[in-house]
Amino acid sequence: MNLSLSKGIEAFLQFFYPIFKKWLAYDVYAYLAVGALNTALNIFLFAVLYEFILPKSGLDVGDYNVASYTLALIISFFATIPTGFWLSKNFAFKTVDTGRKKTGKQFFKYILVVSQGLGSDYLILKGLIVFFNAQPTVAKIASTVIVLTVNFLLQKYFTFKK
């Protein structure tokens, strides 16, 4: 990835960290910051897909109709896997050993964790929409807060474990 982009992100993180230093360890702060960036991208993609691109009636696949919010969730998920891994590895958990073999294992673990997150995200999103009649974009934001908390712990103690 572009070296100036990496330096810019690192400078941004270092500039604002003193504000949060009293309450958060650097890895938690960096995870929240870069995670927020990737999550904002994910929510933005979800909203654009759901609100403007996908048909509101969903997509018929044989005899089954896939809801447009489900399609938006899946597409935005796969679109943000590479950026999420890169941001986590290079900024939130950068003190962890690197190397091609180690990175491959970390990427596999990262995919496992975010796939769990996708499943949880879907169930929470679907539950909020079906049982509480929540607006899909609002439901997506609420489900994301829950999933991000669980994912941080899994990424720290499983994927990027020292």
For residue 162, is pLDDT > 80?
no
Q: Which helix (H) or strand (E) holds 104?
A: helix 100-132
Note the pLDDT tens digit of each residue in 116-132.
988 998 899 999 999 99
Note the pLDDT tens digit of each residue in 37-61.
998 999 999 999 999 999 999 999 9
Report whether 6 contacts 34 (CB < 8 A): no
DSSP tally for the chain: helices H, then strands E: 5, 2
The pTM for the full model equals 0.78
Note the pLDDT tens digit of each residue in 55-102.
999 999 999 999 999 999 899 989 999 999 999 999 998 866 667 788
